[in-house]
Amino acid sequence: MEELPLGTLWLALAVLLALSGFFSMTETAMMASNRYRLRHLAQNGHRGAQLATRLLAQTDRMLGVILLGNNLVNAAAATLVSVITMELFGDDRWALGAGTLVVTFAILVFSEITPKIVGATYADRLAVLLAYVLAPLLRLLQPIVWFINLFASAILKMLGLSSRPNQDEARLTSEELRSLVLESSHIIPKKHQLILDRLFDLNNITVEDIMTPRGNIEILDIEQDWSAVLEQLTTSHHSRLPVCRSSLDQLIGILPVRRLLTVSTAPDFDQAALLDQVHPPYYIPAGTAAFSQLSFFQENKQRIGFVVDEYGDILGLLTLEDIIEEFIGDFTTSLPGLDTTLCWREEGFALVEGSRPLRDINRMLGLEFPLDGPKTLNGLILEHFQDIPEAGTSIKLNGIPVEIVQTQDRSVITARIHSPQGLEAT
């Protein structure tokens, strides 16, 4: 060693620091890489991603070879600094101490902090490249790594820990995946992001949340005059109508109105011909999750059903379109004259139909009406008063000012919701 020129020693030290930086960067890049992205690349045949995935599946061995190389290089660098110091200043203790401080500083800056910042910043790009070097290095040093890991594994067992990664813990929860979607606005278009966000809510939404309440269902009463029946068939804006006798309590089935457009004007078209076209009703238990009902519709080849409670009473009507619109947004044609949008006016209030679902109001106006009770604004107001309120009455529901504008029979037709403090009119 004494025969080597000083310049060669400095060059060897630089090489050792660079190798130490390589191992530090490798460790950080491999551990900080996006494993889901690596799996996706590996499934598409990316060789580097396949190697990186296999390395990450055996974390103990991968870290063993990285730390083995890093520590050997750092120890060699410290020894080499001592040799260089003795060559320059002799055996003085202050010189050896100063050399130790210098090498510590050099290792921190050039071999630890800087490489690790690079590794963390470009983890996904570097992982697939570094795997080409790390994989053969692991095969070469496998006997040494295995021997060292025997001691590491023994210590982990004494502490009750496992050296293998827990696959269950590595999986993302639904809430974590939802956060990932919401943070991916630079990749996913806004509309797609909203659809994915709503999909996470489908298991928390029941059919009662999105059904058309019983009071808003248009029915075809075949007990009425036949001319009135024909007129309703030709003027109805719905493609299907519930057919009943007098009320939904005597439901017969569902009539596909469009199929009758060509035959309803025929002279021989009568009640018997109409009833021949009626399909048996499909019933949905209240409390069924919306996403589960979507599957049930598909399995049973249905598009429309009646939501019933535990006593068999009809609570409302649910269609396949209702579920799809819950996460895609409104896309069907609205009835003429009906404004489905809802927003704050410049005066700081919004006029809302009493039959409007609370979920729609919360979503469109950014409010937080409770959803664990009544499903509509009318139901929430009636629950609060325990009676039918008079027009002009003002109340606060969950801290939100609400003014009754119009009532009819046993329900609130229109209410004025005032923007609570802190909400700006848009």
CATH assignment at residue 213: 3.10.580.10
DSSP letters along 42-58, please? HHTT-HHHHHHHHHHHT
Q: What is the dihedral of CA 181, 182, 187, 189, to 10 degrees?
A: 110
> Within a domain: residue 342?
no
> Within a domain: residue 425?
no
Give pTM, 2 decimals. 0.54
Sign of CA dihedral 384, 403, 352, 328: negative
**Is the same domain home to 55 and 117?**
yes
Dist. CA 132–CA 130, nearest whole Å = 5
**Is the same domain home to 10 and 159?**
yes
> Within a domain: residue 426?
no
Side-chain-facing half-sphere of 208: CA atoms under 13 Å: 16
Dist. CA 138–CA 143, nearest whole Å = 9
**Is the same domain home to 107 and 217?**
no
Element (H, E) at 271: helix 271-276
Which domain covers residue 397, as residue numbers? Answer: 349-418
For residue 335, the model assigns a pLDDT of 43
**Is the same domain home to 88 and 166?**
yes
Residue 257 — φ and ψ, nearest 5°? Answer: -65, -40
**Is the same domain home to 189 and 237?**
no
CB contact at 8 A, 395 and 402: yes
Dist. CA 278–CA 260, nearest whole Å = 11
Residue positions counted in the chain: 426
> Within a domain: residue 25?
yes
- Please report, as a single letter, which amino acid is at residue 411: S
Query: Tokens standing for 35?
Result: 């494993």
Dist. CA 3–CA 9, nearest whole Å = 10
**Is the same domain home to 362 and 403?**
yes
**Is the same domain home to 301 and 212?**
yes
**Is the same domain home to 401 and 271?**
no
Dist. CA 389–CA 425, nearest whole Å = 27
For residue 115, the model assigns a pLDDT of 87
Dist. CA 396–CA 415, nearest whole Å = 12
Q: How many domains does the chain have?
A: 4
**Is the same domain home to 185 and 249?**
no
> Within a domain: residue 423?
no
**Is the same domain home to 156 and 177?**
no
CB contact at 8 A, 362 and 339: no
**Is the same domain home to 127 and 21?**
yes
Dist. CA 99–CA 86, nearest whole Å = 9
The enclosing domain of 379 has a CATH number of 3.30.465.10
> Within a domain: residue 371?
yes
Angle at 311 (CA atoms; ends 310, 313), nearest 5 degrees: 105
For residue 411, the model assigns a pLDDT of 80
Q: Tens of pLDDT along the chain (426 residues)?
A: 445 676 777 788 788 888 888 888 988 888 888 887 888 888 888 888 888 888 888 888 888 888 888 888 888 887 777 777 776 666 666 666 666 677 778 778 888 888 889 988 998 889 889 889 888 888 888 888 888 778 777 887 888 776 565 555 556 666 666 666 666 666 666 666 666 767 777 667 888 888 888 878 889 999 888 888 888 888 888 888 999 998 898 999 999 887 776 666 677 788 888 888 889 999 999 888 888 888 899 888 888 999 998 888 999 999 988 888 877 766 554 444 444 567 888 888 888 888 788 888 887 888 888 887 787 888 888 888 877 788 888 888 888 888 888 887 778 888 899 887 644 444
Residues 6+ apart with CB under 8 A from 378: 354, 355, 411, 412
**Is the same domain home to 17 and 158?**
yes
For residue 337, the model assigns a pLDDT of 42
